[in-house]
Amino acid sequence: MPLKLFDHKQIILGVTGGIAAYKAAMVCSRLVQAGAMVEVVMTESAQRFITPLTFQALTHRPVRTDLFDLSGDNIPHIALADKADLLLIAPATANTIAKLAHGLADNLLLAIALATPAPILLAPAMETDMWQHPITQANVERLRQLVKQINIIGPATGRLASGGTGAGRMVEPEEIIGLAGTILARHGDLAGWDIVVTAGGTREAIDPVRFISNHSSGKMGYAIATAARDRGAKVTLITTAALPDPFGLKIIKVNSAEQMKEAVLVATRQADVLIMAAAVADFRPQVVAEQKIKKQSHTESLALNLIRNPDILAEVAKQKADGHGPRMTIGFAAETEELLANAQLKLANKKLDLIVANDVTATDAGFGVDTNRVTLLAADGSIEELPLMSKQAVAEAILDKL
Ligand code: PMT
């Protein structure tokens, strides 16, 4: 879940009358957990599927249901429409989509939708025949054409309430939250930036079933990539890690240092920033056995001859010298001794703008864990020692430097 993105954001969650309304409770809960201020507005038919009490319990706020209830604000639909950072309608029924497309405002939610300058995200949910009906399709098209701030996610294809299978299922809450985040991030401080991040430890093949690698889980790189996405950047994540794919990133899966190098050189030709959080193997087996190496053929010992891998950051520096490459390059230094001295050397040798010095001997920092303790050393000589933090917070601190 993004750390800052939803913090104090005013999100109006519109719930309309479909069976997927129960999933709106999950969407609501996730948004609240992420720090958003969620105001739930329900249509009359939504209340037949799920009660306002559920949302009130989740948001700790009264749920709005009535266009003419003036007990809170003077003109509730205008007050809500004005303060919203995002209007999310999930589920959005065929009926609500049709009314929105024709500017009807006969309930509080529709009146807000008509009045708000905020981005609107619709998550349609209905039976396949209703979704595929030419009128619904025309309404969706009309909304896309006429309402510049509209975004539509789904519907997905899958099992429907009728028991049938087809297009019309509301997309899963995680995906809705992901897109909601991306929409909010369009106004972030890294909007318009193109950032390439690497994550995980490279795997250098010995034979078809074995490889040499290291303890990198990819968590640090993923934290940076998702934080950059949440601040509005277009992010390419080049990764070896087996973590779930975050929403809204371009993800390139690689194994070896050689593959990572190729992917990085292509991705950074037009990028603004490269952040190399991956733990890249400096050496790889000279020969990769075509078949699985059998222990019978090596009774006492087995020697592997290792050769140098390319230094990806050095290759990027060369590409940059030729006029193609990121404006800024950030590396990490995973060290077990002489942390700052070694990091300074890498900063200079790899021609970096910033290096994140990482003492990987501490059990609560470095490989695998959710926390990290780093020192940021910049090319201008400035040094900033950070305390033990979550990897998300370290990611934010690195991006603040940009
Ligand atoms: O993935 P996690 O479990 O969250 O762990 C995070 C981490 C410990 C892997 C991360 O915080 C970290 O320190 N990553 C860099 C690890 C590393 O390879 O450091 P290094 O000192 O060997 O390399 C210095 C820099 O050169 C790194 O940015 C590295 O990506 C880069 N490099 C290294 C070798 C090589 N052949 N090419 C490179 O570009």
**Does one domain contain both 236 and 256?**
yes
Q: Quick check: 13 and 88 in contact, CB under 8 A?
A: yes
Distance CA 238, CA 196 (A): 7
- Asked, for residue 351, whether it belongs to a domain, the answer is yes
- Asked, for residue 330, whether it belongs to a domain, the answer is yes
- Model pLDDT, residue 301: 86
What CATH number does residue 370 fall under?
Answer: 3.40.50.10300
- Give the count of domains, the chain: 2
Per-residue pLDDT of the chain (402 residues; tens, 9 = 90+): 444 678 889 999 999 999 999 999 999 999 999 999 999 999 999 999 999 999 999 999 999 998 887 776 667 788 888 999 999 999 999 999 999 999 999 999 999 999 999 999 999 999 999 999 999 999 999 999 999 999 999 999 998 888 889 999 999 999 999 899 889 888 788 989 999 999 999 999 999 999 999 999 999 999 999 999 988 899 999 999 999 998 889 999 999 999 999 999 999 999 999 999 999 999 999 999 999 998 877 668 889 999 999 999 999 999 999 889 899 999 999 999 999 999 999 999 999 999 999 999 999 999 999 999 999 999 999 999 999 999 999 999 999 998
Task: Using CA atoms of 76, 81, 82, 83 in order, give the dihedral in degrees to the nearest 10.
Answer: 90
**Does one domain contain both 154 and 279?**
no
Q: List Cβ neighbours of 211 (8 Å cut-off, separation of 6 or more).
A: 203, 204, 205, 255
Q: Which of 95, 214, 255, 342 is catalytic?
A: 214
Last residue of a domain, one of 186, 216, 247: 186
Mutation probe of ligand 1 site: the residue of 260, 280, 282, 351 with most atoms within 8 A of C-beta: 280
- Model pLDDT, residue 77: 80
**Does one domain contain both 308 and 359?**
yes
**Does one domain contain both 231 and 203?**
yes
**Does one domain contain both 29 and 160?**
yes
Residue of the nearest CA to atom 13 in ligand 1?
334
- The number of the ligand 1 atom at minimal distance from the alpha carbon of 346 is 24
- Model pLDDT, residue 2: 46
Instruction: Note if 214 is an active site residue.
Output: yes
Last residue of a domain, one of 136, 152, 186: 186
**Does one domain contain both 173 and 199?**
no
* Helix or strand run (H / E) with residue 87: strand 86-92
**Does one domain contain both 155 and 236?**
no
Q: List Cβ neighbours of 191 (8 Å cut-off, separation of 6 or more).
A: 185, 231, 232, 233
- Model pLDDT, residue 80: 87
**Ligand 1 geometric centre to CA of 221 (Å):** 10
**Does one domain contain both 93 and 230?**
no
313 lines ligand 1 (CB under 6 A): yes
**Does one domain contain both 347 and 254?**
yes
**Ligand 1 geometric centre to CA of 2 (Å):** 24
**Does one domain contain both 246 and 174?**
no
55 lines ligand 1 (CB under 6 A): no
- Asked, for residue 38, whether it belongs to a domain, the answer is yes
Query: Which stretches does DSSP call E strand in 95-160?
Result: 120-124, 150-152, 156-159
> Which residue matches tokens 């009264």?
62
Which domain does 73 fall in, by range?
10-186
In this structure, are strands 371-372 and 389-390 parallel, antiparallel, or unpaired? antiparallel
257 lines ligand 1 (CB under 6 A): yes
**Does one domain contain both 171 and 193?**
no
**Ligand 1 geometric centre to CA of 112 (Å):** 49
- Asked, for residue 89, whether it belongs to a domain, the answer is yes
**Ligand 1 geometric centre to CA of 246 (Å):** 21
- Model pLDDT, residue 298: 67
Distance CA 391, CA 371 (A): 5
**Does one domain contain both 198 and 166?**
no
- Model pLDDT, residue 1: 46
**Ligand 1 geometric centre to CA of 277 (Å):** 5
β partners of residue 371: 390
Distance CA 281, CA 308 (A): 9
Last residue of a domain, one of 162, 186, 210: 186
- Asked, for residue 78, whether it belongs to a domain, the answer is yes
Mutation probe of ligand 1 site: the residue of 222, 313, 390 with most atoms within 8 A of C-beta: 313
- Asked, for residue 3, whether it belongs to a domain, the answer is no
